[in-house]
């Protein structure tokens, strides 16, 4: 279910964040999907953006003319009756890992209440752009934390982004791709995670959990 309609709208995972922010006031909120892994120290990654005043920090910003075949420009996207929105004025971002400000969340919430609908990766950047909020690519604030420009499958592995929709990130790529750089990877769907030093399988992690008395 969503907050504003009884119909399911794909790309609505930001609704729990809006609800959480109402009860937990902070200047900014980081969102990390479960299948994002960072080959580095998370604290250092977050610290690299601490001085940024951008209201939305995400990856792969595009306008319709830059990626006309992207599937969410018009699908499920609705603006309020009487409000004109030229397609050229839409904006999208890739948001499995992003930071958003409290004021930007308020603006997004107000937009929903006024009738705006759509996948958050198109809706949020479009709304924030219309209202003059600042946005920043993750690679602009510090040294690059992801590599490659293609979010969809591409035969050129080096042009395929480490932050992408498909294909899944395998262990070999996670460990080997530009191994001297701390990089963010998505989607990691395997039975493993990175503990800051090495890859650990879920089975190994379960084996080392302390026993609890019943």
Q: Residues 35-61: pLDDT tens digits?
A: 999 999 999 999 999 999 999 999 999
**pTM for this entry:** 0.91
For residue 202, pLDDT beyond 80 = yes
- Pairing mode, if any, of strands 92-101 and 28-32? antiparallel
* DSSP state string for 78-94: B--TT----GGG--EEE
Q: Residues 171-180: pLDDT tens digits?
A: 999 999 999 9
Q: Residues 67-124: pLDDT tens digits?
A: 999 999 988 899 998 999 999 999 999 999 999 999 999 999 999 999 999 999 999 9
């Amino acid at each position: 279910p969503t907050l504003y309609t009884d119909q399911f709208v794909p790309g609505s995972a930001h609704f729990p964040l809006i609800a959480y922010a109402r009860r937990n006031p902070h200047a900014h909120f980081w969102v990390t999907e479960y299948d994002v892994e960072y080959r580095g120290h998370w604290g250092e990654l977050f610290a690299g953006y601490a001085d940024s005043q951008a209201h939305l920090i995400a990856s792969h910003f595009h306008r319709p003319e830059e990626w006309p075949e992207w599937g969410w420009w018009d699908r499920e996207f609705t603006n309020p009756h009487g409000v004109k929105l030229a397609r050229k004025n839409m904006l999208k971002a890739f948001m499995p890992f992003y930071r958003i400000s409290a004021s930007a969340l308020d603006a997004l919430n107000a937009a929903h209440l006024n009738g705006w609908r759509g996948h958050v990766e198109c809706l949020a950047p479009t709304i924030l752009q219309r209202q003059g909020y600042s946005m920043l690519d993750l690679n602009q604030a510090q040294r690059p934390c992801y590599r490659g420009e293609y979010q969809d499958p591409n035969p050129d592995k080096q042009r395929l982004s480490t932050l992408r929709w498909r294909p899944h990130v395998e262990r070999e790529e996670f460990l080997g791709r530009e191994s001297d750089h701390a990089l963010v990877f998505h989607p990691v769907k395997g039975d493993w995670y990175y503990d800051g030093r090495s890859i650990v399988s879920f089975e190994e992690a379960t084996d080392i959990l302390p026993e609890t008395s019943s």
